[in-house]
Chain A
Amino acid sequence: MRAVKVLERILITIPIMLGVATIVFLFMRLTPGDPVDIMMGEAGFVSEGEIENLRREFHLDKPLWQQWLLFVGGALRGNLGNSYTQKQPVAALIAERLPATVELALGALLFALIIAVPIGILSAVKQYSLIDRLSMAGAFVGISLPAFWLGIMAILIFSVKLKWLPVAGRIDYQAGLKVITGFYVLDSLLTGNTQALVSSLKHLVLPSASLGAAMAAIVARVLRSSMVEVLRQDYITLARAKGQHEFWVVMRHALRNALIPTVTVVGLQTGVLLGGNMIVETVFGWPGLGRLAVSAIYARDFPLVQGVVMVYAFTYVAANLLVDILYTYLNPKITF
């Protein structure tokens, strides 16, 4: 039964993905005027032939419905067209940058959970204590912080003043890392390169913290609130009455149920993580998708912008799909 539900949920995702591709396709129609003219405007002098070629490449010489069919069909097969500035397939450029972005996003997620879960639990268990009030005040500031400013402040304090952590980049190149997967932390472990491992972890700390801070704040608030709710339930009183140690009552009985709303929030917050990703990569010179997109925007490389936006949206849809599937395991009663 569970497998059927999961399959149903996956099938629902297909029309959404199609719709996302359609909206991204429509993005290019938002340009004030002919997109090719605008792109060419950035390039300086170009011949008529080049303009014609580009128009053909974007299928702008065909009717709109054919353009749509070609774009969506291509996108579903992984063909996102060619970058106009870098003269390479968009998909290849994205694949090259993706590991950096995923590494940063995982770092941020890990940071958020490491901070938020203990704080959320502790605040709920010690409700209205000083620690609860301070952490909830901190979480409140966390949700009001712009990620780009937090990143800059982190650089100012930890890199410029204290000189503990590097200002930008992913690794010191003297570390001589042999890249295998593109995930530098993983590659350092695989090659047993301790210097590279330390360097890549050091580079990862500030961007992950800046990106994960908002998520940590929200997750801590939601976890606290659902824990407070759960701790009032009869079965918790029963567990206590049976003489179970408070630690196990909280961890074994309360946390599992309190995690259900928390997991939803983590799923929804992936959106904030992805949006913030572009900003944080720009602040820290992190060579991932976000920076690729921002430089593509400045160069008016529309196919590349479309490709990256689509990958971000697909990732968001996939993250929420994953959360929904995880849901059925946390609470088998839930149907979609």
Chain B
Amino acid sequence: MKARYFAWVRERIGLAEEEIAPPASVKTIADLIAWQQQRGENYAAAFANAATIRAALDRQHVKPGTPIAAAAEVAFFPPMTGG
């Protein structure tokens, strides 16, 4: 699936987007965050505090317990500050 990163999540990882292939045991957004945390120092820094990470699946907001299922695109970002 395609992963996209925004704001300081993007800066800490050093990538705006990438293709990811998590193992089958990664079923939910919370699982995916835990998996990301162990992919290297930059990912560990970006995902250190899961409570500050928001996620979207196929461009809709989702919660940590939401199954990833067959989503094509996942995005991770900080709480929003528009307006």
Do the two shown chains form a genuine complex with each other? no
- List A residues at the B interface (Cβ < 8 Å): none
